[in-house]
Structure 1
Amino acid sequence: MFGRLMPTEGKFFELFNQHAELCVKGSKEMVALMTNFDDLEIRVHAIESIEKQADTVTYNTIELLHKTFITPLDRDDIHKLITRMDDILDLLEDAGQTISLYDIREITPEAKRLAELCLGCAEKVKAAVALLHNMDNSREILALCEEIDRLESDADHVMRAAMSKLFRDEPDVRNLIKLKAIYEILETVTDRCEDVANIIEGIIVENA
């Protein structure tokens, strides 16, 4: 039954793929921002633009959900998946705006590493979502979800080490507060990617 519905309701999967691609684009902009502060405002603006595009995809998905009588996945799963994916870009936008508003002049290697882990997670999310239209891909999808879990765990370790170093070595309290906020936002991006992976794993269990 699941397979028969696919051709008529493929639009949902197209929208998921569009959003996942935007998550990767936003993450790449964040890594670029962390690599070169000379382009800070350009990168922040780019992330904001990508986030707005993602909002449109999210809106279109939910609108389609309301208009579609029979959906290829559970309605609640569709809603949870697209909104959790949207959370990823909301947080990337928050990170960029926070760096700009806090007037941070120099980023740490730990913050850059967290941004790289965000990108790694987003790329795995994109890969998993791209396979979701066919439950014959379930084994590969689950392997990608495990990779997301591993990357999120890596981000936890990086943040704990970064916080320890920050409270131990940073003499400027204001700078400590600023960097702490950046670390927490970026680590939360990986948490939201893990949430997406958990939703996808649930979809596989229900439909494979």
Structure 2
Amino acid sequence: MLSRLIPRDEQFFDLFNQLAGHLRTTAQLLDQLFAEPNRTTELVKQIKDVEHLADQLTLTISTRIDKSFITPIDREDIHLLASRLDDVIDRLDGTARRVVMLHINEVREPAKRMAHVVLRAAELIGKSVAAIKRPSEVATQTAAIKLLEEEGDALYHDAVGALFAGKPDPIEVIRWKEIYESLEQAIDQCMGVALAVQSISLKNA
């Protein structure tokens, strides 16, 4: 009875949308990085700046969980979704830093395509998070993200296979295998976010 009299803190949904927006921005910047490697230094810094904002927002969400008497969804689910969104952003930041660390000056086509898959998945995640109270819409976005995950897996396997074709340069193999793996993991993590959103949406329908 008491829980009906105390208002729930609905601002968590706004915070989720903000965090999904940071993911979309990070993915856009990474997509630009692979399209315009001459801007690597500038774009890596911008990605790091957004990653810091995402970390601060994730901390805000965690603090708000502790301070809220009643939350609109389970506390564990709030933490799960915030953490998964932040983890993808961290992964994209790590991918960008690997481009610098591995001295990538010329970008291979599969990396461009995989980065664009990440961007498309991030855009769909934004739509899914915004529709979290509408399970049918979330299901549509989840299905679309699943197709992108499959596309990303295919790109990854083809790209790694091409690295070992003929007489490969061992240094190039090391460099690009690490980049491809990081991008593929980011795509998989996007699927993890989508499944978390879908689970929360269905649980609270």
Same fold (TM over 0.5): yes
User: Is the CA contact 1:114–1:155 (under 8 Å) kept in the aligned structure 2?
Assistant: yes
Number of the residue aligned with 2:62: 62
User: Is the CA contact 1:145–1:198 (under 8 Å) kept in the aligned structure 2?
Assistant: yes
CA gap of 1:185–1:71, structure 2 versus 1, over 3 A, is same
* TM-score, normalization by structure 1: 0.93
Number of the residue aligned with 2:181: 184
Query: Residues of 2 paired with 1:206 and 1:8: CA distance?
Result: 17
Root-mean-square deviation over aligned CA pairs: 1.4
Query: Residues of 1 paired with 2:183 and 2:57: CA distance?
Result: 23
User: Is the CA contact 1:170–1:176 (under 8 Å) kept in the aligned structure 2?
Assistant: no
Query: Residues of 2 paired with 1:121 and 1:28: CA distance?
Result: 11
Number of the residue aligned with 1:87: 87
Number of the residue aligned with 1:32: 32
CA gap of 1:53–1:169, structure 2 versus 1, over 3 A, is farther
* TM-score, normalization by structure 2: 0.94
User: Is the CA contact 1:22–1:50 (under 8 Å) kept in the aligned structure 2?
Assistant: yes
Which AA in structure 2 matches 1:75? R
Taking the TM superposition and a 5 Å limit, the aligned residue runs for 1:54-133 are 54-132=54-132
How far is 1:99 from its partner?
Answer: 0.4
CA gap of 1:170–1:191, structure 2 versus 1, over 3 A, is farther
How far is 1:40 from its partner?
Answer: 0.6
Which AA in structure 2 matches 1:167? F
Aligned with residue 192 of structure 2, among 180, 191, 195: 195
Query: Residues of 2 paired with 1:164 and 1:110: CA distance?
Result: 11
Residues 86-130 of structure 1: CA distance to partner in whole angstroms, max 9, x if unpaired? 011101111110000111121111001010000011001111111
User: Is the CA contact 1:91–1:189 (under 8 Å) kept in the aligned structure 2?
Assistant: yes
Name structure 1 gaps, 5 residues minimum.
Answer: none
Which AA in structure 2 matches 1:59? L
How far is 1:171 from its partner?
Answer: 2.4
Query: Residues of 1 paired with 2:23 and 2:197: CA distance?
Result: 16
Query: Residues of 2 paired with 1:84 and 1:169: CA distance?
Result: 39
User: Is the CA contact 2:29–2:47 (under 8 Å) kept in the aligned structure 1?
Assistant: yes
Which AA in structure 1 matches 2:54? A
Could you tell which deviates more after superposition, 179-188 or 163-172?
Answer: 163-172
How far is 1:148 from its partner?
Answer: 1.0
Number of the residue aligned with 2:153: 156
Residues 118-175 of structure 1: CA distance to partner in whole angstroms, max 9, x if unpaired? 001100111111112x3xx211111101111111111001000001111114621111
DSSP 3-state at the match of 2:165:
helix
Query: Residues of 1 paired with 2:46 and 2:170: CA distance?
Result: 30
User: Is the CA contact 1:27–1:118 (under 8 Å) kept in the aligned structure 2?
Assistant: yes
DSSP 3-state at the match of 2:105:
coil
CA gap of 1:169–1:52, structure 2 versus 1, over 3 A, is farther
Query: Residues of 1 paired with 2:201 and 2:13: CA distance?
Result: 15
Name structure 2 gaps, 5 residues minimum.
Answer: none
Query: Residues of 2 paired with 1:169 and 1:82: CA distance?
Result: 44
Query: Residues of 1 paired with 2:138 and 2:182: CA distance?
Result: 27
Which AA in structure 2 matches 1:162? A
